Structure 1
């Protein structure tokens, strides 16, 4: 099992990436959300300069805020700085678009975007349509030290639902998602992706298409409850971000949440909807994956924690990771809150990374 970190891009936290490399983490995924965090490519350039072994990339870049040629050039620039250890995670913008009051990129548009992006990242000439004009494009100075397309950075596509999973299988070199850390869920996703890859005529073996999932973890002390104050401090921000996502699905599509949210769901919706609709996009994702705002602390329940996060004793966590790996998961990406992030990854490395090597 590979272990990565997801970083809420902020230049002051570059030492955190250095720490993760030293602890044995294999990937650093830099988050891209322009209205809450720093610029992702500036952060990647810093990481490229300060690290030497850890894979670095976008986690994930937002297709709706940059045209495909810009994303390709940005990733290829990082690949020039960190050749062979750069990757590109790309998604439709479930957070970055919504916090500006816009929905994520539509599937048909994302399909076209991925086709152009994957071609350009390979250094190819592609047909590109923009502002009513179509024609061939390629990077004209690919061999002059501005960018690097060799080796080609892997393209990890962010996907959750069946249509986006199909695009990941068609265009991607890997899948980055965020599903409950449950072996049955992972096994079902692995089987489904293999079928989609085969349908698109792409290699369907596990080694051909890794799956990574975003979560966070906390190592329990003897007798500690999964909803103790310490656990909430270490996993609460990620858990409540799952609630934010559930609300967006409810607001846009009318989808009811899972049973683990039912006890608090009506109160949570009422709290969010105290903010007028025209300003609600400025409220829903407050503290997103960095901290829990005070008025949402009561919604970080045991059920939410256990559904979205890896929490257990050292032995329990090792067993759960082994089961997830057997089920078809290749990488666990940890996204702890800002205040506890160094402690979280140090504990995870001690319990999960060092014993596996």
Structure 2
């Protein structure tokens, strides 16, 4: 098992990535969500020139906000700064699309996008369609190294539904899982392998199977209701709550989609959203306030022990070690931590000192 971090993209967070490298973290995922954080490529560039070992890439970018040739050129430019340490994570665009009032992109758009990117990043020509017009495109001036395509850039896909999982098996170099249960891991990997087999593809030996989570290493006698624990896990819990609410709302309010660990607070949360000051069509701005960054004080009551255990790696060191080993047995190869912005150093330090030494990296 390897360990990474995911950050709240900010021009100063290269320092956190540098610190994470010193702590022994393997990878840094830099999100591309234009309405809540800074530009990911600025942060990646600064991280690239201030680190030596840690892998750097998007976590995640989306076809909905950057056309494929631009994404390929941007990540290829970062690859010139950190040759062989760069990857590209792609998703359908949860916050990057919802926070401009649009739905996430479709699995078919995702598949087409990845296909174009793979060809471009491999230095090949590819048919590219933009605004209804198709033309064959290819990077020029390769001998001048404006972009680095010599060091292969792996493409990792965030996927949960069957169509996106199929695209991952057919085109991806790895998978990012939104959940983190052993069942979700096992079933997702099986679907990815099945899709790959259908087209005669064998997944590479280094195929990435990763998840994002947060963590809190408990001190002896500490409870899940203690302030320190809620502070370190709250933004992850409420980020999952916000997503669950939007999925539920878009489904026509199908209650079977409510996650079990939110059942006891669901009605209270729905009332909170109903009382937001913005009209329904604009409430996404209030729903996602603090997204993966900080815990709104008004949402603290939703961070229950059940929700913490379902959303985060939490427990005393030996308990977290066993949780990680269970995920490893299920097929997961990497866990990346997304701590709240105000507690990142504490979370990363505790995890690096008390959990990571139990796992040997190959």
CA contact (8 A) 2:177 2:185 kept: no
Correspondence 1:315 to 2:318: yes
What are the within-5 Å matches in structure 2 for residues 81-230 of structure 1? 81-180=81-180, 182-204=181-203, 207-230=205-228
| Partner of residue 328, structure 1 | 331
1:137/1:236 CA distance change after superposition, 3 Å = same
Contact 2:162–2:191 (CA under 8 A) maintained in structure 1: no
Quick check: 2:166–2:191 contact (8 Å CA) kept in 1? no
CA contact (8 A) 1:227 1:305 kept: no
Partner of 1:65: helix, strand, or coil? coil
Judge conservation of contact 2:7–2:30 (CA < 8 Å) in 1.
yes
1:324: how far off? 1.1
Where do residues 341-352 of structure 1 align in structure 2 (5 Å cutoff)? 341-352=344-355
Structure 1 length-normalised TM: 0.96
Which residue of the partner structure matches residue 38 of structure 2? 38
Q: Residue 128 of structure 1 aligns to a residue in which SS?
A: strand
**1:147/1:283 Cα in 2 relative to 1: closer, same or farther (>3 Å)?**
same
Question: Is 1:356 aligned to residue 355 of structure 2?
Answer: no
Partners of 2:199 and 2:259 lie apart in 1 by 32
Instruction: For residues 276-301 of structure 1, give each alpha carbon's deviation from its aligned partner in whole angstroms, at most 9, with x where no partner exists.
Output: 21221211110011111121111111
User: 2: distance between equivalents of 1:41 and 1:333?
Assistant: 19
Moved over 6 A (4+): none
In the other structure, the counterpart of 2:287 is 284
In 2, the alpha carbon distance for the partners of 1:278 and 1:192 equals 35
Q: 2:269 matched to which residue of 1?
A: 268
Deviation at 1:32, TM superposition (A): 0.9
Give how far 1:121 is off: 1.4
What corresponds to 1:251 in structure 2?
Answer: 249
Could you tell me how far 1:13 is from its partner in structure 2?
2.2
Partner of 2:79: 79
CA distance in 2, matches of 1:27, 1:84: 13
Cα distance in 2, alignment partners of residues 320 and 224 from structure 1? 18
- Given that 1:273 and 1:280 are in contact with CA atoms closer than 8 Å, whether structure 2 keeps it comes out as no
Separation in 2, partners of 1:147, 1:44: 15
Could you tell me how far 1:208 is from its partner in structure 2? Answer: 4.4
RMSD over aligned Cα atoms: 1.3
The one of 207, 229, 238 aligned to 1:231: 229
Q: Distance in 1 between matches of 2:21 and 2:349?
A: 11
SS at match of 1:123: coil
Distance between the aligned counterparts of 1:352 and 1:122, measured in 2?
Answer: 38
Partner SS for 1:62? coil
Partner Cα distance (2:23, 2:213) in 1:
18
Gaps of 5+ in 2: none
Distance 1:36 1:143 in 2: 38
Q: Which residue of 1 aligns with 2:305?
A: 302
- 5+ residue gaps, structure 1: none
* Contact 1:30/1:58, CA 8 A, preserved across alignment: yes
Q: Contact 1:44–1:57 at 8 Å: present in 2 too?
A: yes
Q: Note the alpha carbon deviations across 1:47-87, whole angstroms, 9 max, x for none.
A: 00100100000011122000000000001000011000000
Whole-Å separation in 2 of the counterparts to 1:87 and 1:279: 34
